């Protein structure tokens, strides 16, 4: 499978065997911070990433998953389609967030797409439009 141009610097993560490694929390941080006007801020004892002051991703302490914005109507569909990848802890059942298991992601492209989708939900419309025209 041929890869297209990488929109973020330093996108390649490989294992010692040369195959693509599963994304990890360092990849979440790197790709989130590569999005325009994103800042990292500690909250609730974990790293959170924000655009225009609005949170769009969190990385809980165990770093095996991350949480992103997700409209409630899409969340149920995601969980039903891929329960090994997407889930919601009971205390977040009423929120517009979904957790994503890092080990279940196919590759960095999938991680990037998930982060970008969440960023677009939090970022001002003008910033989203400007970014998407430069990609």
Please give the Cα distance from 63 to 129 (Å, whole number).
31
Residue 9 has pLDDT above 70, yes or no: no
| Residue of higher predicted confidence among 12 and 135 | 135
Residue 10 located in a structural domain: no
pLDDT of the residue at 3: 37
Residue 3 lies in a domain: no
> By residue range, what is the domain housing residue 106?
25-134
- Whether this prediction's pTM lies above 0.85 is answered by no
pLDDT of residue 27: 97
Q: What is the pLDDT of residue 20?
A: 64
Instruction: Name the band, by pLDDT with cuts 50, 70 and 90, for residue 5.
Output: very low
- Domain count across the chain: 1
pLDDT digits (tens, 9 = 90+) for 12-63: 343 333 446 789 999 999 999 999 999 999 999 999 999 999 999 999 988 8
CATH of the domain at 115: 3.90.1150.30
What tens digit of pLDDT does each residue of 65-123 get? 999 999 999 999 999 999 999 999 999 999 999 999 999 999 999 999 999 999 999 99
């Amino acid at each position: 499978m041929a890869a297209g141009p990488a929109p973020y610097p330093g996108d390649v993560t490989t294992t010692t065997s040369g195959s693509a490694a599963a994304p990890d929390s360092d990849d979440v941080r790197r790709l989130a911070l590569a999005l325009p006007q994103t800042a990292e801020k500690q909250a609730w004892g974990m790293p959170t990433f924000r655009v225009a002051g609005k949170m769009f991703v969190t990385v809980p302490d165990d770093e095996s998953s991350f949480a992103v914005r997700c409209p409630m109507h899409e969340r149920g569909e995601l969980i039903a389609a891929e329960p090994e990848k997407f889930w919601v802890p009971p205390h977040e059942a009423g929120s517009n967030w979904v957790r994503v298991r890092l080990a279940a992601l196919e590759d960095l492209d999938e991680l990037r797409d998930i982060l970008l989708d969440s960023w677009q939900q939090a970022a001002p419309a003008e910033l989203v439009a400007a970014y998407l025209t430069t990609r």
